[in-house]
Chain A
């Protein structure tokens, strides 16, 4: 088991380093740089800026020092926000995005799973059609439409919640539902199809033959098995949702991390592009690792032991 951990940890570090290197070089191939302005800066000013951010050094040197700092956990200063480091940008933005993401994931699980079960148990009934219709809507309506619709109805129409902003519980509701829209639909569909499959398994028939109540059959015997595909998608989903969404954060004026994935590229804010990408990839590989561990807990047949090669 320990060997397994170490191997996974090393491969995770390797993946993050590859992502960091690829991002570092790819972004340098983008036309123009962090000091391109609509009003072109005088050459002397650009020279001073390049010196300040060590961009006057050869690229390989910049790369080595970047990776060196990265290994110390230092993501460097932001090129755009003059007195801020990428570490502080992540430290400020991530808790906000993660709070919102946690609510959204909770909504997705608490609404998506029951909806899927309900649909599966009433297969081809109106309930099933209703669930599938909702899921179709959730998957196909883009979040910027959902955001605006929710804002129009609940904030500007009914005045139940503030239209935008951050800081109060009420301000979490609309963006969280917007973020949860797609995952709810996705999980509902996934749960429905897995449930249908599980219900045809022999052990369910056995359970029913034993005379167990339908409730027990579903919750004790079926549920645990349909959780495996849900957990599989939940890992990457958490990584994606917790790091924020550009659209949702922009529309609801939320000071999260999501905006930086887009704005840093537009601004050619090299260190921020690299920093948020590395952070996201690290979170993603870590979540996948957690998913793998959860499998073992959910399905006793899966065990991480050294395979004996004879």
Chain B
């Protein structure tokens, strides 16, 4: 036994020294990052979420990139002009190249954007291009024998469908053809000039240009090879700071510094290795054993200790955790009830005792980190910072009494819906207890599998539900326009004409000040009617070795390794 043990020790020692020699000999910078999941795609048009964006944004570069303050800076576009009505953008492209050596042109952008909008591509994030004039119409069009037509509408303006088996099939309006070469507002004037015409002024359009869906693709390759993103990466022609060289599904992906990138002198890491570890505890084990330098997922139960030891960094994140009320059901059709429930939550207790990730109690809906009318002002502090007090039990009790339920008497029992997760469960239990002690009302908890939960939300088959919203871009609109009447994510049954009008007006004005005023007005309506009870503003905890310097992590959750170095 002793022999075996000593043999093992010797082997371990040997391996240890060998590992040491290897790092000493290599002066290259290699970053090992846990991406948290296998990307569902590496095609920018098809990008679906953060693991995909974190992959795509290393190997592609759009017209702009986001700097460390989340502001758009020139990238493939070296400059641009914006028309007085803020609807026409003329981008001038710099000399830059694809990994196959051919130049990146304005034609590549035009092709890529139209490809993302084309119905057959079925891009989930196509709506990030709806800002481009005609983009939405093209994406919604119906292909009849290779030509695109708008959907026909009936006398009331509702889209027309016909039954085919058990399915509703949209009916095309054959007199309304949509020609993507003419009716979509993106056009390459020449190889170096891209003209973009927007449907309405969009102040955050330059930021959107750094979003995965708006990345260029190499027209010469992609138009000929439908399998250009295949596993061997041979046809994966890209233009970003890094080049993908190896992809082992569900295991890892390797990148090297892209030798054809226009700004390669400023790309610090020589190599990136992405791991696809989806188990938080395993990620931590790998990080602690030295196999990872950073991880996008962290075991939440261990947050306080990891923050204390300096291994976990709390990064800002553009998101709000909230409870939504089904306003179509009694007693939640009464605003006094909704407000009472909102006020009777002790948010500080939740962020200090349950989430413990440096989250801030949300006393409004739109989170911090979004600019107001100018890039130096902050949306949150430009209007009312808070709309109510945290844990305001006295007001909550009075409201509940006014609604006919003094001390909770006669209040019908109801259910809080959440999706399976220990965090959502703990928060729901805490809120259940708060409502019971503070207001004297009883509720039960119902946890559901993800798909069932989504289904119940969409069908308003709930009373109170846990929800969260993470911004798609850095602008208040990404939080606000979801609450318009019938909005696809407005799963509350709530509707306000004034709110709809404010959002519509904000979209059409070209004056940033006026626009932001409408946004603030709309938020005030939301926070007067309480279809939702904001709980806290999200944060984004990541594991990061202190030797890793210069990581840019956007508030949308996207990493940028371009400027990262390793010291010490």
Residue numbers of A with Cβ under 8 A of B are 30-33, 35-45, 47-49, 51-53, 56-61, 80-84, 88-89, 92-93, 148, 151, 155-156, 159-160, 162-167, 250-253, 255-256, 259, 266, 268
Cross-chain contact A164 with B40 (CB below 8 angstroms):
no
4 additional A-B pairs beyond A44-B126, A57-B165, A82-B41, beta carbons within 8 Å, are: A39-B470, A48-B126, A49-B122, A256-B250
25 of the cross-chain contacts (CB-CB < 8 Å) are A30-B451, A32-B455, A36-B455, A38-B468, A39-B489, A40-B491, A45-B124, A56-B167, A81-B40, A82-B43, A83-B42, A89-B249, A92-B249, A151-B285, A156-B288, A159-B289, A162-B289, A163-B285, A164-B291, A166-B251, A251-B279, A253-B282, A256-B250, A259-B250, A268-B451
Cross-chain contact A49 with B41 (CB below 8 angstroms):
no
Cross-chain contact A255 with B166 (CB below 8 angstroms):
no
Contacts of B136 in A (CB 8 A): 44
A32-B122 CB under 8 A given contacts A48-B139, A81-B40, A160-B12 = no
Cβ of B340 < 8 Å from any Cβ of A?
no
Q: How far is the CA of A58 from the CA of B119 in the complex (A)?
A: 20
Cβ of B221 < 8 Å from any Cβ of A?
no
CB distance from B244 to the nearest CB of A (A): 13
The one of B48, B231, B286 that contacts A253, using a Cβ cutoff of 8 Å: B286
Cross-chain contact A165 with B279 (CB below 8 angstroms):
no
- The 4 A-B pairs at the shortest CB distance, nearest first, are namely A58-B165, A255-B250, A31-B455, A82-B41
The one of A53, A155, A250 that contacts B289, using a Cβ cutoff of 8 Å: A155
Contact with A along B1-22 (1 / 0, CB 8 A): 0000000100010000000000
Residue numbers of B with Cβ under 8 A of A are 8, 12, 38, 40-43, 46, 48, 119-124, 126-127, 136, 139-140, 164-167, 169-170, 227, 229-231, 248-251, 275-279, 281-282, 285-286, 288-289, 291, 449-452, 454-456, 458, 468-470, 472, 488-489, 491
Q: How far is the CA of A35 from the CA of B286 in the complex (A)?
A: 33
CB distance from B557 to the nearest CB of A (A): 13
The one of B12, B167, B291, B455 that contacts A57, using a Cβ cutoff of 8 Å: B167
Contacts of B248 in A (CB 8 A): 255
Q: How far is the CA of A250 from the CA of B250 in the complex (A)?
A: 10
Which chain B residue lies CB-closest to A42?
B127
Q: How far is the CA of A77 from the CA of B372 in the complex (A)?
A: 44
A48-B285 CB under 8 A given contacts A83-B227, A163-B291 = no
The one of A47, A52, A82 that contacts B40, using a Cβ cutoff of 8 Å: A82
Q: How far is the CA of A155 from the CA of B140 in the complex (A)?
A: 54
Contacts of A166 in B (CB 8 A): 251
Secondary structure at the A interface, as helix, strand, loop or mixed, is loop
Which chain B residue lies CB-closest to A47?
B170
Q: How far is the CA of A61 from the CA of B491 in the complex (A)?
A: 33
Cross-chain contact A32 with B452 (CB below 8 angstroms):
yes
Contacts of A165 in B (CB 8 A): 251, 275, 286, 291
Cross-chain contact A164 with B282 (CB below 8 angstroms):
yes
Cross-chain contact B40 with A44 (CB below 8 angstroms):
no
Q: How far is the CA of A129 from the CA of B542 in the complex (A)?
A: 48
Q: How far is the CA of A33 from the CA of B458 in the complex (A)?
A: 12
Contacts of A80 in B (CB 8 A): 40
CB distance from A265 to the nearest CB of B (A): 8
Which chain A residue lies CB-closest to B46?
A82
Cross-chain contact B165 with A163 (CB below 8 angstroms):
no
Cross-chain contact B122 with A48 (CB below 8 angstroms):
yes
CB distance from B491 to the nearest CB of A (A): 8
Q: How far is the CA of A148 from the CA of B458 in the complex (A)?
A: 38
Cross-chain contact A250 with B122 (CB below 8 angstroms):
no
Q: How far is the CA of A159 from the CA of B19 in the complex (A)?
A: 14
The one of B12, B282, B450 that contacts A163, using a Cβ cutoff of 8 Å: B282
A45-B450 CB under 8 A given contacts A83-B227, A163-B289 = no
Contacts of B166 in A (CB 8 A): 58-59
Contacts of A259 in B (CB 8 A): 250
Q: How far is the CA of A80 from the CA of B249 in the complex (A)?
A: 13
Q: How far is the CA of A105 from the CA of B214 in the complex (A)?
A: 50
CB distance from B482 to the nearest CB of A (A): 8
Which chain A residue lies CB-closest to B47?
A82
Cross-chain contact A164 with B286 (CB below 8 angstroms):
yes
The one of B41, B277, B456, B470 that contacts A83, using a Cβ cutoff of 8 Å: B41
The one of A47, A81, A148, A251 that contacts B41, using a Cβ cutoff of 8 Å: A81
